């Protein structure tokens, strides 16, 4: 079930159903930021949303929250359309999402992430949330998990085999391909120069734009295609379902 397309009695009933997945919720999380001259600004939140929604189509007991679509993108701010939060804002918002979902009885919250730049701050947010329980000498009655979609079993291997060169770190052909599979009428093309973008450190927004003028890092998105994207989605969906089922079945000590 998708929470945003459900009514509250439906979510209430799901929580009380006793199904193995009934107290687990997936939160697709990403960032709205430039992805080179052809990549959609939403790429990093669209990819986890596309995979989570495809998984929900095959397993209707899977509960998926609305997508948390703004994250850590300060270094992309020199490109129009990018929207970012400060790390402190992001952490506070994650805390409020978790508090809202656990209030209703969700005991496992699984963040399916689409942006590498979010990882450190999501982990820090988890530590902030757990710290309140630790200080109180109490145990949290919920568990949190972070999984990057490309770290789902078999996905990175598949991406590397499809794109042995020019995968890169930002505006990668694999993430562009996933969005092309879901939104084929939004595919854009460009003459990439150089074909494979440069690599380097990530600092502030003006430094980034000077180092990476069209926004890409190390990638050649011209290799992307909807067919390749669909292969990646088809590999990610069963891996996600298995990962979520394992998380839902995990025994929490003291419960």
Which stretches of the chain bind Ni ion, using CB under 5 A? 43-44, 175
Nearest distance in Å: CB 245, Ni ion:
27
**Nearer to Ni ion by C-beta: 21 or 52?**
52
Give the separation between CA 66 and CA 185, rounded to whole angstroms: 23
Question: What secondary structure letter does DSSP report for 199?
Answer: -
Distances from the Cα of 186 to the Cα of 33, 174, 183, 246, angstroms: 16, 16, 6, 35
**Nearer to Ni ion by C-beta: 108 or 115?**
115
Give the separation between CA 243 and CA 133, rounded to whole angstroms: 26
Nearest distance in Å: CB 90, Ni ion:
16
**For residue 199, which phi and psi values (nearest 5 degrees)?**
-120, 160
Nearest distance in Å: CB 55, Ni ion:
20
Residue at shortest CB range from Ni ion: 44
**Nearer to Ni ion by C-beta: 62 or 177?**
177
Nearest distance in Å: CB 115, Ni ion:
6
Helix, strand and coil in the chain, % to nearest 5? 50, 10, 40
Give the separation between CA 190 and CA 138, rounded to whole angstroms: 56
**Nearer to Ni ion by C-beta: 61 or 199?**
199
Nearest distance in Å: CB 238, Ni ion:
23
Side-chain-facing half-sphere of 253: CA atoms under 13 Å: 2
**Nearer to Ni ion by C-beta: 39 or 231?**
39
């Amino acid at each position: 079930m998708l929470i945003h397309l459900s009514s509250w009695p439906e979510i209430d009933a799901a929580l009380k159903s006793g199904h193995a997945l009934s107290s687990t919720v997936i939160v697709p999380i990403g960032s709205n930021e430039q992805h080179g001259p052809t990549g959609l600004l939403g790429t990093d939140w669209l990819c986890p949303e596309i995979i989570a929604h495809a998984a929900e189509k095959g397993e209707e007991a899977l509960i998926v929250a609305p997508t948390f679509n703004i994250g850590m993108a300060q270094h992309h701010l020199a490109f129009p359309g990018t929207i970012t939060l400060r790390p402190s804002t992001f952490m506070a918002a994650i805390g409020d999402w978790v508090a809202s979902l656990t209030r209703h009885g969700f005991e496992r919250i699984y963040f399916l992430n689409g942006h590498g730049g979010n990882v450190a701050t999501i982990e820090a947010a988890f530590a902030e949330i757990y710290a309140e329980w630790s200080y109180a000498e109490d145990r949290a009655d919920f568990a949190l998990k972070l999984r990057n979609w490309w770290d789902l079993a078999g996905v990175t291997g598949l991406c590397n085999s499809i794109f042995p060169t020019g995968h890169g770190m930002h505006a990668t052909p694999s993430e562009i391909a996933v969005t092309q599979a879901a939104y084929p009428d939004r595919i854009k093309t460009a003459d990439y120069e150089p074909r494979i973008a440069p690599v380097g450190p990530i600092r502030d927004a003006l430094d980034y734009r000077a180092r990476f003028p069209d926004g890409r890092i190390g990638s050649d998105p011209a290799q992307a295609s909807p067919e390749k994207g669909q292969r990646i989605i088809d590999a990610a969906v069963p891996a996600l379902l298995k990962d979520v089922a394992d998380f839902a079945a995990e025994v929490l000590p003291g419960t």
